Amino acid sequence: MELDVIRYSDNGDSTLGLLFINSKWESYTLEDEHRDVKVKGETRIPAGRYQIKFRTVGGFHGKYVIQYGAEWHKGMLELQNVPNFKYILIHAGNHEGHTAGCLLVGETSNDNKDEKGFIGASRDAYKDIYPQVRDALIAGEEVWITYHDFDKHYILRDVLRTF
């Protein structure tokens, strides 16, 4: 299974994007802003490709087992081997204060220009996305996510590389 995050707007406080699963649009995303030098809890992860596996320990896992039930929730979706980051998860949340480097998903989004990024109906989006990834992992399928930067100055650099 392949997931793609297309980052399209970084306003200096937050980053909005689009999440695709096997080339089908699934949700909006929200992350921290880009920084050349990482600031803990205030920096998005680098663009790149990362494997996703279950994380079955930690506060989020326990909270989600209670919230969604142990039959439904089998572990947090954790990105593996992200340079200079640990415990990068995909989870519900509405604004950059909820992320700390993680990927938030939502069904609605603001424009991220006049105010900090916000995504809504996050739990609904998570309930749509999680079973797809969970079932692939349970079936033994490898799951990968690729982050693409098409926000601010990155778009020109990335487009020019294709020529």
In the numeric block, which tokens belong to residue 149? 């930067």
* C-alpha span between 31 and 66 (Å, rounded): 25
| Residue 128 counted as domain residue | no
Query: How many structural domains does the chain have?
Result: 1
Structural domain of 44 = 2-50+91-120+133-147
| Residue 76 counted as domain residue | no
Identify the CA nearest to 53 among candidates 35, 79, 27, 72. 79
Is residue 152 within 8 A of residue 51, CB to CB? The reply is no
| Residue 23 counted as domain residue | yes
Question: Considering the chain, what percentage of its residues have pLDDT values greater than 90?
Answer: 74
> What would the mean pLDDT of 132-148 be, rounded to a whole number?
98
| Residue 65 counted as domain residue | no
| Residue 17 counted as domain residue | yes
pTM above 0.85, yes or no: yes
> What would the mean pLDDT of 84-97 be, rounded to a whole number?
94
